[in-house]
Structure 1
Amino acid sequence: MRGLLQQIVVLALGNVSTTVVEVKRRAVGGVIASLFFLTAYVALVMALAFFVASEAGPIAASLVVAGAAMAAALVVLAVVAVLNRQTERRMLERQAAMAARGPDPVTGRLIAELPVMMRHSPIVTTIMVGSLVYVLARSRGFGRGPRG
């Protein structure tokens, strides 16, 4: 049992340092990329406003830019709503499939042994259960999407 516990702890905590580095790197990269995208967006809106102002005047330019921004916002909201609905449907299908399958034998045995283990060593058991939940969540695809 101790060997299994050590393997679970190594699996659960082995990638923590690399995950922290990845999260920091993605956060910094996302902030920098967002600044460049925001700069490009502002330049695009200004160019559109200048073009329409030279053709139809400043008031019409303002109305065209505002209308285009409103239409783009509505399209983005519609796409996000559709994607959220699809994700929710997939999650419900996955939950139904897991409920139909039932628990695997290893998990069933561990749950059966849990009260005895808690009486002998509650701290180690708590760490083991937390690690097991973490490993199962990572292996079945809960939480984050696939890496890549």
Structure 2
Amino acid sequence: MRGMLEQIVTLALGNVVTTAVEVKRKTIGGVIATLFFLTAYVALVMALAFYVAAQAGPVAAALVVAAAAMAAALVVLAVVAVLNRRTEQRMLERQAALAAQQPDPVTAGLMSELPGMMKASPIVTTIMVASFVYVLTRSRGFGRGPRV
């Protein structure tokens, strides 16, 4: 039993190190790219201000740049609100569909026993549930395949 448990843990945690390295690399790259994008944005805003200042004066330039920034911010807020609303509607539809489905008797029995198992031995129960989910995802082809 102990050997099988060790193998399951090894299989489940095998890609943690490579995933951590990938996340670290992507984070550093994202920070550097963000700095360059911010530099380009500031240069664009300054160029717009200089252009409008040459045409209409410094006060008008400041007002035009502020108005453009406010308009862009309002557009972004509107788009985010619409996307959040769509996501909320999809989540409610998904919850309604899941509530309409009747689970099979085995799953219903396991779900009713799970709180008692968690109180009795939370670590073993967590490992068991994680192993069960891992086996199900591998057997049904969900997720990524094994790395080569």
Q: TM-score scaled by structure 1?
A: 0.71
Cα distance in structure 1, aligned partners of 2:6 and 2:104: 21
Corresponding position: 1:32 with 2:32: yes
TM-fit CA distance, 1:133: 8.4
The one-letter code matched in structure 2 to 1:85 is: R
Shift of 1:92: 1.1
How far off is 1:16 after superposition? 2.5
In the alignment, what sits opposite 1:23? 23
**Superposition pairs of residues 66-77 of structure 1, within 5 angstroms:** 66-77=66-77
Q: Which residue of 2 aligns with 1:100?
A: 100
Contact persistence 1:118–1:125 (CA under 8 A): no
Query: Which aligned pairs between 1:74-89 and structure 2 lie closer than 5 A?
Result: 74-89=74-89
RCO greater where, 1 or 2, for CA within 8 Å and sep 6 or more? 1
Alignment RMSD: 3.7
21-30 or 37-46, larger mean C-alpha shift: 21-30
Q: Which moved more, 1:5-14 or 1:81-90?
A: 5-14
Range with greater deviation from structure 2 (6-15 or 93-102): 6-15
Matches within 5 A, 1:1-148: 9=9, 12-104=12-104, 107-108=107-108, 110-111=110-111, 114=114, 123-129=123-129, 131=130, 135=134
Q: Which runs of 5+ in 2 are unaligned?
A: none
Shift of 1:22: 2.5
Count of aligned pairs between the two proteins: 138
25-34 or 75-84: which moved more? 25-34
Equivalent residue letter for 2:126: T
Unpaired stretches in structure 1, ≥5 consecutive residues: 140-145
For residue 15 of structure 1, report the CA deviation from its aligned partner: 3.4
Q: 1:4, 1:99 → 2: CA distance?
A: 36
Asked whether the equivalents of residues 117 and 125 of structure 2 are also in contact (C-alpha less than 8 Å), the reply is no
Code of the aligned partner of 1:68: A
Amino acid across the alignment from 1:62: A
Q: CA deviation at 1:128?
A: 1.8
Distance 1:87 1:46, change over 3 A: same
Q: Which secondary structure state, in structure 1, belongs to the residue aligned with residue 103 of structure 2?
A: coil
